[in-house]
Structure 1
């Protein structure tokens, strides 16, 4: 008897031994496997459950077209499209409970597309020679993907890479057995923030929204958190969003820890009601253990820890951030309220605090007022973002939308 089925994906022409070892480890623990071959030139030692021809056809092409292109990048993008479509179909049909993809840079490129096609809660593991590498852009990393470094795995089996593969087999099967998928039994509110030392509104808002019958997920807006937030917004997972920490917009503009160019756009595209505020708009995060990027080297900064440091933007740069935020909100198809706390937008910019800049704050606020698009309701207040007045105003907007039917009741 087997309880869970794992989709095992890779190029079975060149990594047959490694993939079969992975399959045997899963089977040895009582799991079942379904194999998918994403090879192009060669053939596996024995047929896979999903052949490379089926994969290429699902990608809108054929193996012959991939070969005839004469370009390995073009060929693998055909296979990536097909593998993503096939994996989603297999999951939707209830045939697989998790997926594991094995590869180098080519296989990892494909694995990111395949993993992104699967919903949150489906265990998805990538065993790669470039796991955790800066080669991997944040905007392509799915919200709940797991990665394992394939040490010693470039070519052929050995005791070093078997250690990685056997752990990966146990991890994906264990995850498929243990996972508690999102229940979706209450409307979900997506919120962005940072730790309580800099932004504190979630301490009040989360219990208040839960008391109203909603579920609240708070995303840490330091690059990957924003990426996860955007991927779920794109799926339509949120009943409403409180996007109060759009700092990743500034990060993307000025070379910080980006969440991708589509940050602050996906909820709008889906028509999801948005309550927005500019928490930490004035900061650009960079890797704390590296020298500051040249464009930020002369700025006042705050070191959160040894991993993360934030530099402060100049007044004209803050105007640029204001325009970027307003441009993104202008494309929203659903209702948007922009809360503008003129008293400050993070704890470090209060009067007397280390990063206070009255001129910069005024420049940002003035530019927001000047650039705010017609589809956005602007609500200015004298308060600081961490004051009770801010959370009271956010809840007032939320409650009004519930009464109007804009946000569904629990």
Structure 2
């Protein structure tokens, strides 16, 4: 049986959390009783954390709000009763994050489950994002789960379940939702624990595998698919493909920072254009920095830098309505980048490399002269040789004197030979060969 953390604002949600706790215990008991070796089965372990505004007493609570503040709030934690609600949430988020991080570092935790309204959701979502690793089951029942959950989930694997009704009382509908959440968490955490045990029993399996992150977009998919084939079949690498939609780039960089990726082939850097020109798939102003600062092998190309991404055509900003637009699908509209914008993208990439590259000799930039996406090849809807040339020149000029190798390649980014060569080159850098 796994160990599950239950965390929530128990000054307002105690009854609901006791119900979730009861459901977990009953489901775990049922699972044990159906097991032929149930007499030796380990009972479900739960740690209940109160991150509410005021202290609540109940025998089921493992870590009270008072304990959370005194153990993880530092010597000068202010009186929460005198703080605005927003400031209280910030304080409790910091304390809860430190507490959960300590529990996870101690080992033996297999899932985190919570339920809350808007305030509790923002608090616990931050804890899950900042304290828990990717892969650990994280489930949040929330009154705001049917809206824009991007700011809550971020680039992590938090699962959210809409509560339908407010988490206030235990009516039939809420009991159903919370029971489902308990069942889902028990299943996820049990599977997670089983994987951990299997990995421990298996031990090291042969030589270390190189873990490679790659960025992809629809218009660079053929090239990425060929890169993946080359890396897996010819080099035995384990490949992680990230959809470059903003959160995809952030997710890759989170995995770099946590040490889960050994190398990056940043083939599709389209998120940079969205950051610079107001598109809706930006990964922020620190895009590229994580792999560069980590000093891992890092080959960068220019996939889909010929475009900025917006939603449905009606959502394109008024200033861009007269531009070259292409409806990729009913909810995605692409805007062709101009010469000036391409120059800005190239300058941004060069500046990031200059600022953050810890090991310039392990960084390369590949320029696919015949097109940076399937739309910008000769005859394509976004074909613009002058704009692309401006992009290439800005990069080349910006990287002079850095020690970073710039590869001028006459092929387009989806060319099979380009894909094979760039994959092979990455692995040469990994191997430390020239």
Structure 2 length as normaliser, TM-score? 0.85
Task: Please give the residue correspondences for 1:213-252 in structure 2 after superposition, counting only pairs within 5 Å.
Answer: 213-252=236-275
Shift of 1:232: 0.8
Summarize the alignment of residues 2-401 of structure 1 with structure 2, pairs less than 5 Å apart.
3-30=1-28, 31-46=44-59, 48-57=61-70, 59-61=72-74, 65-67=78-80, 70-116=83-129, 117-134=131-148, 136-137=150-151, 141-179=154-192, 180=195, 186-195=209-218, 197-211=219-233, 212-256=235-279, 257-288=281-312, 290-330=314-354, 331-334=356-359, 335-372=362-399, 374-401=402-429
Are the structure 2 counterparts of residues 18 and 298 from structure 1 closer, same or farther at C-alpha, using a change threshold of 3 Å? farther
Q: Which moved more, 1:154-163 or 1:78-87?
A: 154-163
Q: Does the CA contact (< 8 Å) of 2:155 and 2:248 recur in 1?
A: no
User: CA separation in 1, counterparts of 2:408 and 2:231?
Assistant: 22
CA-to-aligned-CA distance 1:357-390 (integer Å, 9 cap, x gap): 2221122112111222614221111211111342
Q: Report the CA distance shift for 1:56/1:284 in structure 2 as closer, same or farther (over 3 A).
A: farther
How far is the alpha carbon of 1:154 from its aligned partner?
A: 4.5
Instruction: Give the superposed CA RMSD.
Output: 2.5
Query: What secondary structure is seen at the aligned counterpart in 2 of 1:386?
Result: coil
The CA distance in 1 between the partners of 2:403 and 2:141, in whole Å, is 45
Distance 2:313 2:349 in 1: 29
Contact 2:231 2:424 (C-alpha < 8 Å) held by counterparts: no
Offset from partner CA, 1:132-170 (integer Å, 9 cap, x none): 5336427x6242211111221243332222232222111
TM-score, length of structure 1 as denominator length: 0.90
Structure with greater proportional helix content: 2
Aligned mates of 2:60, 2:20 — CA distance in 1? 16
In 1, are the aligned partners of 2:263 and 2:430 still within 8 Å (CA)? Answer: no
For residues 16-52 of structure 1, the C-alpha deviation after alignment (integer angstroms, 9 at most, x for no partner) is: 1111111122112104421011012242444621222
Say which SS state the counterpart of residue 236 (structure 1) adopts: coil
Which has the higher Rg, Structure 1 or Structure 2?
Answer: 2
Gaps of 5+ in 1: none
Residues matched between the structures, number? 402
Structure 1 stretch 7-16 or stretch 18-27: which is displaced more? 18-27
Q: Secondary structure of the residue that 2:283 maps to in structure 1?
A: coil
The structural deviation recorded for 1:210 is: 1.5
Shift, 1:316, TM fit: 0.8
C-alpha separation in 2, matches of 1:133 and 1:251: 23
Deviation for aligned residue 1:62: 6.3
- Alpha-carbon spacing, 1:289–1:368, altered in 2? closer, same or farther (3 Å): same
Gaps of 5+ in 2: 29-43
CA 376–158 in structure 1, closer or farther in 2 if over 3 Å, else same:
farther
CA contact (8 A) 2:216 2:268 kept: yes
Question: Relative to structure 1, is the Cα distance of residues 365 and 57 closer, same or farther in structure 2, using a 3 angstrom cutoff?
Answer: farther
Q: CA deviation at 1:14?
A: 0.7
Shift of 1:192: 0.6
Between stretches 199-208 and 343-352, larger displacement belongs to 199-208
Provide closer, same or farther for how the CA distance between residues 271 and 57 of structure 1 changes in structure 2, counting only shifts above 3 A.
farther
Structure 1 residues 19 and 83: alpha-carbon distance in aligned structure 2, compared to 1, 3 A threshold: same
Preserved CA contact (<8 Å) 2:312 2:331: yes
Q: Give the secondary-structure state (helix, strand or coil) at the position aligned to 1:347.
A: coil
Which piece of structure 1 moves more, 281-290 or 337-346?
281-290
